[in-house]
Amino acid sequence: MNIKSNTYYELLDAMKERGCPVCLLLETYTDKYIDNLLYESVNDTNLRGRLIDSGGFCKEHSKKLLRFGYRGYALGISIIYKDLMDAYYKTLNTQGTLSSNRKCLICEVLEDVEGRILEELVKNIKERNFYQIYRDSEGLCMFHLSKVLTLSKDREISEIFLELTALKLKELSSQLSEFIRKQDYRFREEPIGIEADSWIRAIEILRLK
């Protein structure tokens, strides 16, 4: 019996939602990780040590922390940043410089998670049920498509992703054309259909990073 991983089932669920399933899972995991960090792990001395070594968080994840702060996590954030502030103060006073070899801890964690998700996607795309659900999904953004094509050593698997992506891009292009057409005053009385949010989906799918 072939036992499937949790990531496999998470991908199946994500592919039934709007947008790139890998982006969706990473976003969900990021929120869970930050929630756990600020609620349960803020007093974990080992983790706080790793945070000090990392130097803090990147711009994207700093913004996420700020949003969590407004939702009641200000204490946890304050505890973490008190450590970081003191560490920077000590470094600047004793060394007079900053190390450039630092990386956001959340980014490091997400790189591992992203790798597992992509491997699961490549490994299962030939499975009939998995393929059908992926085929009916909105597909991968260009950033994660590029990563899948780099990861895959199987030409047939690469062609599956390329072919399905091309079809999805063509369909989305048609919806954009329809959206643009209906902005013309001559056609503004026509009801807006699936093309209404085509421009939003275009931004999401064509992201490069």
Could you read off the pLDDT tens digit of each residue along the chain, which spans 209 residues?
578 899 999 999 999 999 999 999 999 999 999 999 998 888 888 888 888 888 889 999 999 999 999 989 999 999 999 999 998 888 888 876 766 678 899 999 999 999 999 999 999 999 999 999 999 999 999 999 999 999 999 999 999 999 999 999 999 999 999 999 999 889 888 999 999 999 999 999 998 88
Contacts of 188 (CB under 8 A, 6+ apart): 182
Q: How many CB atoms lie within 10 A of CB 137?
A: 20
The encoded tokens of residue 174 equal: 């048609």
Distance CA 115, CA 121 (A): 10
Which residue carries 């200000």 as its tokens? 74
The pTM is what?
Answer: 0.87
Best CA proximity match to 69, nearest among 58, 59, 80 = 80
Sign of CA dihedral 130, 133, 136, 141: negative
Determine which helix (DSSP H) or strand (DSSP E) holds 39, and give its type and residue range. helix 21-39
Distance CA 107, CA 56 (A): 11
Distance CA 171, CA 151 (A): 26
Contacts of 33 (CB under 8 A, 6+ apart): 106, 109, 110
Determine which helix (DSSP H) or strand (DSSP E) holds 188, and give its type and residue range. none
Burial letters 100-110, b for 16+ CB under 10 A, else e: eeeebbbeeeb
